[in-house]
Amino acid sequence: MTSNNDADPPVGGGANRGKRRRFAPIPRVTGTIIVISVLAAIVQQVVPQVGWELAFAPVVALVEPYRFITSAFLHAGFYHIAFNMYALLILGMQLEPLLGRVRFLTLYLVSAIGGNAAVMVLASLTGWNGVAVGASGAIFGLFGALMVVLKAFNRDLTGLLVVLGINVVIGFIDPRISWESHLGGFLTGIVIMLLWNSLLRARSTAVQKAVVAGREVPGSLRTRWMVVDVLLGLAVAIVLGIIVFAL
């Protein structure tokens, strides 16, 4: 017995079948970060003390360094998390398929560290007793990385720069927003992506030779490249840590 669904469409369903839009699936790491952040927001409502224990506070950050990352999964309210998760979804849909899950996660977490490191370094201006929560540093790291990618492909940066400009203005107008975190995350994302791009240019020679020879690039080599990229991201995080401790 054979079946041909296209030959006998459901009544009334055949005319619009070709026009039906298919939404791209949410990348796995992006979706996981969103789920964790939403769950963390729920926990914050049930157990408010969790927010204080995991938020980034310059006064205790050096003795409790986990706060450099945990604070990126906490938020100060519905609109805060809604805006950040929407931005993460949009940026993740573009960057995660391009970078791969491991590199994307590395970029996200190291950018979060970079954002909080900037808060730490500039704490003498903003006060050591404040606390910072939110994924904004990581989000701005994704913005910075995307800007590098678009520039590398000679794409128009106008739309991205407008969005960044609006966020910069809002960050200076609203004292509750940590512009230091935005700046630190943004610069960290740019640095990581520039380093990865420089490695990509070097690797392109190996890829071209393989194509000319009619061979595929070995999976083991691709794995080594990924490991190097992750280690490079971690190296950036270590440098940020050294800067923070030195200052």
Distance in angstroms (rounded) separating the CA atoms of residues 32 and 24: 16
Percentage of the residues of the chain whose pLDDT score is greater than 70: 77
- Give which of 136, 142, 131 is closest to 115, Cα–Cα: 136
Q: Quick check: pTM over 0.75?
A: yes
- What would the pLDDT profile of 143-188 be if each residue is shown by its tens digit? 999 999 998 888 888 888 888 888 777 767 766 778 888 999 999 9
Q: What amino acid positions are annotated as catalytic residues?
A: 136, 182
Domain ranges for the chain, please list them: 28-245
- Give which of 244, 245, 237 is closest to 72, Cα–Cα: 237
- Give which of 163, 180, 75, 77 is closest to 121, Cα–Cα: 180
- Give which of 109, 91, 94, 55 is closest to 167, Cα–Cα: 91
Among all chains, which residue has been given the structure tokens 């994302």?
189
CATH superfamily of the 28-245 domain: Rhomboid-like (1.20.1540.10)
Give 237 or 209, the one with higher predicted confidence: 237
- CA separation, residue 30 to residues 45, 113, 169 (Å): 23, 18, 27
For 224, counting Cβ atoms within 10 Å of its Cβ (0-12 exposed, 13-18 middle, 19+ buried), the class is exposed
